[in-house]
Structure 1
Amino acid sequence: MVGMLAAMPPPAPHFAQPDDARFRSRGDACPGALRLHRADDGALARVRVPGGVLTVDQAEGLRELAGELGDGELYLTSRGNVQLRGLGAECGGELASRMYEMGLLPSERHERVRNVVASPLSGLDGLGARDVRPWLTALDALVCASEEAAGLSGRFLFALDDGRGDVDALGADVTLRARADGDAELRIGALDSVARIPADEAPRAALLAATVFLSLAAGSGAWRAAELPGGAKPLFAEVVRRWGAAGLPVTLGTVPVPEGTPPALGVVTGSGDTDALSVGLPLGRADAVRWRALTDLARDHGAGELRLTPWRGVVVPGVRRDRASGALDALEAVGLVTGDRSPWTGVGACVGRPGCAKSLADVQGDAASALRPRSPDRALPVHWSGCERRCGHPGGAWVDVLAGPDGGYRVSVVRDGGRREEPVRVTDDPAALADAVAAARDPRT
């Protein structure tokens, strides 16, 4: 059984693919900021960052914690959260106390359930139907104030989509999507069915869906909506029933789940006299130099915040237009990914060896060795995994590169619903492996 380190929280005011739910023998052990996970490279803390929004002070505080208590790097997750690795076994109390002071722990009982992704460019480029930041603030407050919501799994996910369809495509348990007519759509899991509701009531509807999920999941072992007996459909039906019974307006419809695309990398033109810069972190990792380059830019020339994306990228809003191009060059100079043609674009991996005992290979090193100079347009994302758990893999269509016990890798294409296409190739030759990955990513093949 995986060892856990219990961190004592500071005094505070009142305020993967999971295994089959039917056969779970223990509670949700998803790590957090107060419950640390013991890995081969030390303890791991996962800091929830609702909507991926960090103030500059919070971002700099996390860098300091990583340097003083961990391995010096920050790791972004596929939910726009931050992980600290290489932590000492006795650092839990100090870690919790400092994160509380930084405003990253508004409720110790809810810190693992504040899982919210949001459209990273919402309110910045004029393309969304509405700015979802008010939804984000309201939903986080509702979740932290709900005793029932504290019982959610650390894997349960909310998504707030501003209408462009980016995070609606991620398969969250509860999704709110803005409509051009001013209303909102509520989606459960990957259902095509949606409930049209007043936009001002949307955060309340999302919390209702979460609490109804808990009532339906009791005794089933389900941590996600899709794991409920009967799947997500009974949850959707019960949420709609309760919403209507409360006398609130609701209209049912069908809207297919979009394919969705991450924010383009580079300069994102704003509606005023400022732009945003969108960059990627190679394999989702940032050392102190790269992280400081982002925070310095946000403090000196931006809006004073970073937005972490579910695609392991960072958006810096509010950069003066006459400084944007030069600032982007400076970020590229420290190794950040600043364009969609970079060989790092769309490449992800679990931590692999030596950090994870379950991994069969140094997948991050092998992923770096297999890079090609340029990727074709619309190349499929690729995820390298050290074991069958495939931690952090993307949704939708993607290339699965899985380490095997023989020292080789299996390469296959995964389509929506988890269907793997043939042929599946096994290779332990580095050049042949790079060729196989490149061919699988190419949409023309």
Structure 2
Amino acid sequence: MAMTRSAPDSCPGVLRLHQAADGPLARVRVPAGRLEPAQVLALARAASDLGDGNIELTSRGNAQLRRVRDAAELTRRLEQAGLLPSRTHERVRNIVASPLSGRVGGRADVHGLAADLDAGLRAAPRLAELPGRVLFTLDDGRGDISGLGGDIGVHATDADEFAVLLAGRDSGIRVSAADAVPVMLAAAHGFLEVSSGQWRLREVADGPRRVADSLGLATAPQRLEFGATHEIPIGWLTQDNGLVALGACIRLGSLPARLAEFLAATERPVLLTPWRGIVLADLEEWAAEQVVRVLAPMGLIFDAESPWLLVSACAGKPGCAKALTDVRADVAAAVGEVTERQHWSGCERRCGRPPGAITDVVATPAGYRVHPAH
């Protein structure tokens, strides 16, 4: 059954800010989560000079700045840093890829595909009409991304074969690495053809089948199954080339600008993950040891046993007018007692809830209500 939408999606960007309860919010798309050091520094300085002093990491590997004071100056800075390469397509560049792909394991390196997909999206004028909620996923075969419920995606089955995913499910279509991006772009055009205003492919009546048919490609009888995972890259990760990547948890996805400046100073790429953490890649061993020694006391979490890896939360007060309480402060007070995955919400909407089995802790006028995982 199709879902009917009465208005275009209101996802914010840089050029269209969201008027949050605590002030204007800007969302910066970061395809595949990859930031160069100069871009990390640009975001850090923008957060300090123009925002509330923090970079918020999102569940799509993007970045947000809250309480933006000068939208025009923010736009200028982000364009200069290469973080706003298209004014027409900025909100449709929602691309999530396996963060460790090409460095640690995986069947194929999907980061080159992510860059090609981003370029292809920006080169197609009509694809600027995609809703800002549409999500593209690229999984290198390890299964960390395909369970996130994207709209259009590929999942590596070997080094040169990918399953095409539509609305988070295996369509049965198999393509080569060379055809992966063209097929994803064709599927995006197909979404626009079958949509009557819906924001997500799963909301379109028989949408996945109709888009698959529009591609005109054969399907395999076997279908892969994907489930949500919670295998967050954390700690010391030896790369296939002998260098080191460091996976770090950020408390509730809020990265202080000063800490981001230290990350930029390593002069290594930073990957934002859909678990609101980071991977600092391509380090020599001695440099990785220095990073841990300096940045762990500043707030980066490299410990896989930290309870902070088990909790997530919505914005809460004062950022959201619908929230009944300051959820993040409450999480911080309770995190030491957490022993299972929990998502804390300031109201029944449960914004930001990760997929999969997780205990919901929901604020009500009478206090928090706990909904066990199922």
Q: Structures share a fold, TM > 0.5?
A: yes
Residues 361 and 371 in structure 2, CA contact (< 8 A), matched pair in contact too: yes
Amino acid at match of 1:150: A
* Matched pairs, number: 373
> Is 1:194 matched up with 2:172?
yes
> Is 1:120 matched up with 2:99?
yes
Structure 1 residues 136-163: Cα deviation after superposition (integer angstroms, max 9, x where no partner): 1110011001122111111100011111
Query: How big is the shift at 1:174?
Result: 1.0
SS of the residue aligned with 1:401? Answer: strand
> Is 1:325 matched up with 2:289?
yes
Provide the C-alpha distance between the structure 2 equivalents of 1:95 and 1:326, rounded to a whole number of angstroms: 32
Partner of 1:8: none
Residues 168 and 260 in structure 1, CA contact (< 8 A), matched pair in contact too: no
Provide the C-alpha distance between the structure 2 equivalents of 1:154 and 1:403, rounded to a whole number of angstroms: 28
Q: Aligned match of 1:295 in 247, 250, 264? A: 264
Structure 1 residues 359, 254: closer, same or farther in 2, change over 3 A? same
Provide the C-alpha distance between the structure 1 equivalents of 2:180 and 2:221, rounded to a whole number of angstroms: 15
Structure 1 residues 233, 398: closer, same or farther in 2, change over 3 A? farther
Q: Aligned match of 2:344 in 384, 396, 401? A: 384
> Is 1:26 matched up with 2:7?
yes
Structure 1 residues 105, 53: closer, same or farther in 2, change over 3 A? same
> Is 1:103 matched up with 2:82?
yes
Residues 196 and 253 in structure 1, CA contact (< 8 A), matched pair in contact too: no
> Is 1:314 matched up with 2:278?
yes
Partner of 2:369: 410
Question: TM-score, structure 1 length as denominator?
Answer: 0.80
Structure 1 residues 191, 288: closer, same or farther in 2, change over 3 A? closer
Structure 1 residues 135, 254: closer, same or farther in 2, change over 3 A? same
Q: How does 1:105-254 map to 2 (within 5 A)?
A: 105-125=84-104, 127-218=105-196, 221-236=197-212, 238-239=213-214, 242-244=215-217, 251=220, 253-254=222-223
SS of the residue aligned with 2:67? Answer: strand
Is there any run of 5+ residues in structure 1 with no aligned partner, and where?
Answer: 1-19, 416-445
SS of the residue aligned with 1:179? Answer: strand
Provide the C-alpha distance between the structure 1 equivalents of 2:17 and 2:159, rounded to a whole number of angstroms: 44
Partner of 1:268: 237
Query: How big is the shift at 1:414?
Result: 4.5
Structure 1 residues 78-105: Cα deviation after superposition (integer angstroms, max 9, x where no partner): 00100000112xx222211221111111
Structure 1 residues 233, 370: closer, same or farther in 2, change over 3 A? farther
Provide the C-alpha distance between the structure 2 equivalents of 1:401 and 1:234, rounded to a whole number of angstroms: 38
Partner of 1:360: 324
SS of the residue aligned with 1:107? Answer: coil
Provide the C-alpha distance between the structure 1 equivalents of 2:31 and 2:75, rounded to a whole number of angstroms: 17
Partner of 2:309: 345
Structure 1 residues 44-85: Cα deviation after superposition (integer angstroms, max 9, x where no partner): 000000000011101100111111111111100000100000
Larger RCO (CA under 8 A, 6+ residues apart): 2
Provide the C-alpha distance between the structure 2 equivalents of 1:266 and 1:144, rounded to a whole number of angstroms: 35
Query: How big is the shift at 1:374?
Result: 6.9
Query: How big is the shift at 1:373?
Result: 5.6
Residues 163 and 171 in structure 2, CA contact (< 8 A), matched pair in contact too: no
Amino acid at match of 1:163: G
Provide the C-alpha distance between the structure 2 equivalents of 1:357 and 1:58, rounded to a whole number of angstroms: 31
Amino acid at match of 1:207: L
SS of the residue aligned with 1:194? Answer: strand
SS of the residue aligned with 2:125? Answer: coil
Amino acid at match of 1:30: C
Structure 1 residues 115-146: Cα deviation after superposition (integer angstroms, max 9, x where no partner): 00000001111x10111111011100110011
Partner of 1:87: 68
Amino acid at match of 1:232: P
> Is 1:286 matched up with 2:267?
no
Residues 195 and 252 in structure 1, CA contact (< 8 A), matched pair in contact too: no
SS of the residue aligned with 2:169? Answer: coil
Structure 1 residues 387, 374: closer, same or farther in 2, change over 3 A? closer
SS of the residue aligned with 1:344? Answer: helix
Provide the C-alpha distance between the structure 1 equivalents of 2:287 and 2:315, rounded to a whole number of angstroms: 35
Provide the C-alpha distance between the structure 1 equivalents of 2:242 and 2:98, rounded to a whole number of angstroms: 21
Provide the C-alpha distance between the structure 1 equivalents of 2:48 and 2:283, rounded to a whole number of angstroms: 27
Q: Which has more radius of gyration?
A: 1
Query: How big is the shift at 1:267?
Result: 0.5
Structure 1 residues 374, 357: closer, same or farther in 2, change over 3 A? closer
SS of the residue aligned with 1:254? Answer: coil
Residues 225 and 235 in structure 1, CA contact (< 8 A), matched pair in contact too: no
Query: How big is the shift at 1:192?
Result: 4.3
Question: TM-score, structure 2 length as denominator?
Answer: 0.95
Is there any run of 5+ residues in structure 2 with no aligned partner, and where?
Answer: none
Structure 1 residues 362-415: Cα deviation after superposition (integer angstroms, max 9, x where no partner): 10011111112674xxx4x32111122222110111121111122x11211344
Partner of 1:65: 46
Calculate the aligned-residue CA RMSD, in Å: 1.7
Amino acid at match of 2:330: D
SS of the residue aligned with 1:372? Answer: helix
